Structure 1
Amino acid sequence: MTMFCTRWVFPLIFFFMALSSFSQENLTSYWQPQTAINYDVTKTYSHNFSVAKRSYLIDQGDYGFNVRQIDVVHFSNLKVADNKSVALGIQYRFRDIFEDSSNELRLTQQYNYTKRPFVIRYGHRLRSEQRITRNLTTHRFRYRFALDFPLKGEELNMGEPYFVGSFENLLSVAKANSPEFDLRLSGQIGWQLKKGLKVQAGLEYRMEDFASDFPQNVVFLLTNIQLSL
């Protein structure tokens, strides 16, 4: 199992790295570190708080390290079964202080379903979002398929690595605008450092507005710290 996972994971990571060879005319790259805290109120109800910062690495062919935005997010999660949950989220995106663009308020409704038939856990997530800015409200509908599994043995033990991967489709609609279709593909390697503490790092590729004549390629360098209380 471990050898199979390793053979499968590393080609995926190298595939993401190869995206940097794209023409920089339609390539944007970011570094996005994130810190998240999960807090269980009861056995079925929990909160999630996170803060993420997004900085340019490549912007229209120019290399730099300019901050684009900061996101502050809260989710309330309710388990409706052992492997099913619903959630409501609210997010505020600070962007005006970094560049000439509108701040954003985002409301999210979510349904999540997971299944672990063997070592690999699969997850299906449905989301609807309302992205509210000063001049426009955009409705977005998202489906994500995700999987995760330990890279050593059949169970994740303290100090051992694991893999998380996902594929997501998005549809955005807004008044007087054409519908926009996006695609996202990500892979991260994580470590269970101690009980309740995980760190992850990886890459995400986004093809934005891929049905248009000029789709945009976006690559993220992701780093995450997750603390469960």
Structure 2
Amino acid sequence: MRKFFLLILFSTAPLFVYAQSQTDWIWNPEVSYSWKASDRVAYNTKLSVFNNLGELGNRTALSFLEPQFVMSYSVSTRLKLGGGYYYRWSEPLRDGYRYEHRLLQQVGYVSYIGDRRLAHRLRLEQRIRSSSYQNRLRYRLSYDFPLQGERLDPGERYIILKNEIMTAFNAAEADAENRVSVGLGWFINRSYKFELNAQYRTQDIFSGNGITHLFLAGTSFYFNR
């Protein structure tokens, strides 16, 4: 447990270089449910909620509400193709848009360093908002390992490290963002797991208005069938 808190400290240390007024603090609880239709086809539904911790008690504390649906097809034990849809809603939305439909296409690939697993994900998104359209390209690398032994068994904990880079672009604008996170998970059994994570985002890298910063604390519960 001490190692986990040290990881959080080092991954979020850049936040404290900036004044709190320049940084958003978000709590992101989510629930995910996955099931297999066959040996190769699987589905996932997820509900994510984004709350601005600096405005708890206010009507605008709810930043976003996102229901999601994704289907994946296993080409092999290491390679997956997928596609899906999710909807972003809030009243009002932080960026001024009333709603956002998002289509996604993705490729996932698993590689190994010894017995340790590296998961790669390349995703293309089309963001259809109430008054604009934007494409976004995302690449995420994640690395997880058990805290006890070489294999993760029911009832044990694990560490998961992630970094995601992305660029958003359309005819009128282009931007980039980086997200680094560290999480502690509990593998309850093959059907359930729970994760706590801390994420630091640098946003608006190419906007010309200065980089913005966001700290996100997440709680995730996963159901698998």
TM-score normalised by the chain length of structure 1: 0.89
Query: Distance in 2 between the 1:14 and 1:119 partners?
Result: 27
Moved more, 167-176 or 99-108: 99-108
Q: Is the 8 A contact 1:184 1:207 kept in 2?
A: yes
1:64 to 53, 56, 60: 56
SS class of match (1:135): coil
**Counterpart mapping for 1:78-97 below 5 A:** 78-96=73-91
Indicate how the Cα distance of structure 1 residues 205 and 17 shifts in structure 2: closer, same or farther if over 3 A, else same: closer
1:191 has 2:193 as partner: no
Q: Is the 8 A contact 1:70 1:95 kept in 2?
A: yes
Q: Is the 8 A contact 2:97 2:129 kept in 1?
A: no
Query: Distance in 2 between the 1:132 and 1:220 partners?
Result: 24
Q: Is the 8 A contact 1:151 1:160 kept in 2?
A: yes
2:167 to 167, 171, 179: 171
Query: Distance in 1 between the 2:188 and 2:75 partners?
Result: 29
Query: Distance in 2 between the 1:24 and 1:175 partners?
Result: 33
Moved more, 37-46 or 94-103: 94-103
Which residue pairs with 1:130 in the alignment?
A: 126
RMSD of equivalent CA atoms: 1.9
1:14 has 2:9 as partner: yes
Q: Which amino acid aligns with 1:64?
A: L
1:41 to 11, 33, 37: 37
Which residue pairs with 2:70 in the alignment?
A: 75
Query: Distance in 1 between the 2:159 and 2:111 partners?
Result: 16
Q: Is the 8 A contact 1:54 1:70 kept in 2?
A: yes
2:221 to 216, 222, 225: 225
SS class of match (2:86): strand
Once the two structures are TM-superposed, the CA of residue 34 in structure 1 deviates from its matched residue by 0.5
SS class of match (2:8): helix
Partner deviation per Cα, 1:62-87 (whole Å, 9 max, x = no partner): x5351111100000000011100000
SS class of match (2:106): strand
Q: How many residues are matched?
A: 219
Which residue pairs with 1:200 in the alignment?
A: 195
SS class of match (1:207): strand
Indicate how the Cα distance of structure 1 residues 49 and 77 shifts in structure 2: closer, same or farther if over 3 A, else same: same
Query: Distance in 1 between the 2:113 and 2:10 partners?
Result: 28
Once the two structures are TM-superposed, the CA of residue 223 in structure 1 deviates from its matched residue by 0.3
1:50 has 2:46 as partner: yes
Once the two structures are TM-superposed, the CA of residue 95 in structure 1 deviates from its matched residue by 1.5
SS class of match (2:144): strand
SS class of match (1:116): strand
SS class of match (1:92): strand
Query: Distance in 2 between the 1:130 and 1:168 partners?
Result: 18
Which residue pairs with 1:113 in the alignment?
A: 109
Query: Distance in 1 between the 2:25 and 2:152 partners?
Result: 32
1:142 to 135, 138, 144: 138
Q: Which amino acid aligns with 2:131?
A: N
Q: Which amino acid aligns with 2:126?
A: Q
SS class of match (1:155): coil
Unaligned runs of 5+ in 1: none
Once the two structures are TM-superposed, the CA of residue 6 in structure 1 deviates from its matched residue by 7.0
1:30 has 2:26 as partner: yes
Query: Distance in 1 between the 2:113 and 2:2 partners?
Result: 20
Q: Which amino acid aligns with 2:156?
A: E
